[in-house]
Structure 1
Amino acid sequence: MIKHIGVPTLLRVVLGIIFLAHGISKLQMGLGNVEAWFSSMGVPGFMAYVAAFVELAGGILLIVGLFTRVVSALFIVLMLGAIVTVKLSSGLLGHDQAAGYELELSLVLVSIYLLASGPAALSLDHLIFNKRRSA
């Protein structure tokens, strides 16, 4: 079954679901609370809104396969920012109660793959942009 769906499609959809879930989680916590949490870590509070929007909208776009390369690039920037500003001091695997950056690094690598590979056969990108090329 995976062969018929294709690994790039599977990676894209799962990555989209992960980011969508993180965006929904931020909404459920309340963006004001997320803003305060970001500020307490030394990250500008407005980035809570940016992160939530990118995760929500980007997750949905990846699930349907629209603007895959753009969204993947945004996810790379978002995750590298999280690693550098928050997670780096905890190390790869973390310590005590602080999580490491292994998840963010994995998400960056999947995003790099999607950025480099381009639209999968089962995506709106493929459907839309292949029609434009053939017209």
Structure 2
Amino acid sequence: MENKYEVSILILRIVLGISFFVHGLAKFQGGIENTVGWFGSIGLPGFLAYGVAFIEIVGGIALVLGLFTRIVSIIFILLMVGAIIKVKLAAGFLGNGQMAGYELDLAYLAMAVSIAITGSKAYALDSFIGKGQKAEKAIHVL
């Protein structure tokens, strides 16, 4: 392991990945049609519920594995900005008694921004893919 910096980003990556995975899984386990209906009730097309749940599950797994880390983090940033603006902002930071506030969404957003900026090499499949591409380029140069 390179240093404390990489360990801290690894922890963020794994926790964020697991968190998104569980949120996506919950959408399906709770009955995705309920989520579809809820999306419709807030003025979003219901089919987006499938996309969001899929992104959360697949993206969560990808983050845990360290695969396409920066791309997945950017997608999660977009999801969190959308959730905060469209759903949570009106409830306030801590919520309004009927709905949770945006404090958790903001924490996820900050984690995703940090990972998107720095990347995460420790125990990441991205590291192996990058090494393979560098080795392949080196072979072509010879």
Q: Same fold (TM over 0.5)?
A: yes
Over residues 52-80 of structure 1, what are the superposed CA-to-partner deviations in whole Å (9 max), with x where a residue is unaligned? 01000000100100000110011000111
User: TM-score by structure 1 length?
Assistant: 0.92
1:90 maps to which residue? 91
In the TM superposition, structure 1's runs of 4+ consecutive aligned residues that sit over 4 Å from their partners are 2-5
Shift of 1:4: 9.9
Choose 1 or 2 for highest CA Rg. Answer: 2
Hey, what's the Cα distance between the residues in 2 that align with 1:45 and 1:107? 24
Shift of 1:107: 0.4
Hey, what's the Cα distance between the residues in 2 that align with 1:46 and 1:118? 31
- Identical residues among aligned pairs (%): 46
Hey, what's the Cα distance between the residues in 1 that align with 2:53 and 2:7? 29
2:16 maps to which residue? 15
1:59 maps to which residue? 60
Shift of 1:133: 1.7
After superposition, the CA RMSD in angstroms is 1.7
Q: Is the 8 A contact 1:76 1:112 kept in 2?
A: yes
Aligned residues, how many?
Answer: 134
1:43 maps to which residue? 44
Hey, what's the Cα distance between the residues in 2 that align with 1:92 and 1:4? 29
Hey, what's the Cα distance between the residues in 2 that align with 1:4 and 1:119? 10
Q: Unpaired segments of 5 or more residues in structure 1? A: none
Shift of 1:38: 1.2
